[in-house]
Structure 1
Amino acid sequence: MATEHKIAAAARGDEGKGASRRLRRAGKIPAVVYGGHADPKSIQLEHEKTWLASQNEWFYSSILTLEVDGKAEQVLLRDMQRHPYKQIIMHMDFQRVSANEAIRVAVPLHFINEDKSPAGKAADVAVTHELTELQISCLPKDLPEFIEVDLSDLKVGDTVHLSEIKLPAGVEVPELKLGADHDVAVVVARFVKEEAEEAPEGEASAEVPAAKVSDDEEGGDKE
C-alpha cells in the first residue's frame, strides 16, 4: 500500500502580487488548488516544511493529501515556480483528483541491476538511459511512486524499448497508443569507440581519455 504523504495548508482571502509578497516575507507560499469538480481555492503553505518535502522524489509523482484548515483533499502537484537563484518556492499549483477518474502523471524510472548485467560488466560499453521518467495513465489508487526497470539481462547491443517496460497493474502508457513510431528507446547498451589523437611527428602516439561533456525575489510571479 502506498505511503500517505500529508501537506498542511490554510485558506487565504487576499490575492494579487502584493498579498503574495507579504506571504513570502512571512515565510509562506501562495498556492492554488483546482479541479475535481470544485471551485479553485487560494491557499498558503509553510515554506520551510514544504521546501523539505519538495526535496523528496515522491513530492512530484505521488497523490498528496492536502489538508486545508483540517479538511483533506487528494491532489497532485502540477506546477511549482521557484526563485531563479534563491532557495525559495514562489508559487504552487495543485490539482484535485477523483477516485474514479484516470490521471496522467510523469513518474520516475528506477534502473536496477545494471551493474550485474552482461553489458554492465563488459569493458568499453556505455549503458545510456534515454528516459528518466515515464508519462503514464491510471486511476489514483494505482499510481506508483516510481517504476523499476530491471536491467539484469541487458547485453551489449541491446535496446530496451518503451513497450518492454513492465508496468504495475492498472497502469498504461498513452504514448504507445500512438503507433510503433512512439515505441522509443529507454535504455541502450553499445560499445564506446575510443579514438586516439595522432601524436606530433617524432613523438609516440598516446591515448587521450574522452572528456565527459556532460529578479529579484518577485520575478516571474504568478500573482
Structure 2
Amino acid sequence: MTLLSLLAFAGLCLLLSLTPGPDTFLVLRIALNRASAGVAAAAGSASAAIVWAGLVGVGLAAILEQSAEVFRWVKIAGGIYLVYLGVSSFLKARKAAKEGMADGADAPLPYSRWAGFGAGAVSTLLNPKVGLFYLAVVPQFIPHGGNTLGTAMILGSIEAVIAFCYLASVAVIAFKAMKWLRRPKVNATVERASSGIITVLGFGVLASGAVN
C-alpha cells in the first residue's frame, strides 16, 4: 500500500465517522451522565472494529488462497455494496431533511467506565455493517501477492483510531454535540458528502474489476 492509498482510506473513514450513526448516538447518550464513560464507550467501539477487521482479513485470505477469480468477484461485490451504501445514505438524508429529523432521544442511563466500554464494544460487534464495510474496502487495498490479514489489520487500526478520536471528542462535548448533530441541515450535508464519495469509490471499484 502507498501513502496516498492510506490517506485516501483515512479520509473515507473520517467522512464515515462524521456521519451520525448508532455508535455516535450511543456514545452521546452514555456521555450525557458521565463524559469518561462516553470515552470508554468510544474505546470499546474502536476495539470491536479491529476485531471485525481481523475476522474479515482471515476470511479474505482464505478466499484468495482458494481462488483468485472468486476473490475478484468479492472485490466487485464490494464495489456494488459501496454504491448501494452511498445511494441509500443519500436517499435517507433527503428523507430525513424533509421530515425535519423530528425524533427524540431516549433518556440517558447511568454507566460506569467498564459498562460504557462494554456497551460500545457490543454495539459495534453486533453491527454487521462494520464487517460489510471492511469486506468491501479491504480487497481494494491489497497489492498482488500482498498480506491480506496484515492489510486488513492496518486498515482496521487506522479506522479504529479515527473513530475513537471522533467519538471521544463527541463524548467530551456531548451536550453541544447533540444539538449540532441534530440540526437537519448539518446532518443532511454530512450524509450527502459521505454518501457521494462512497458512491464514486464504488463505481471506481466496479470499473477496475471489469477491466482486470
- TM-score normalized by structure 1? 0.21
> More strand by proportion, 1 or 2?
1
> More helix by proportion, 1 or 2?
2
- TM-score normalized by structure 2? 0.22
By relative contact order (CA 8 Å, sep 6+), the higher-ranking structure is: 2
Structure exhibiting the larger radius of gyration computed from Cα positions: 1
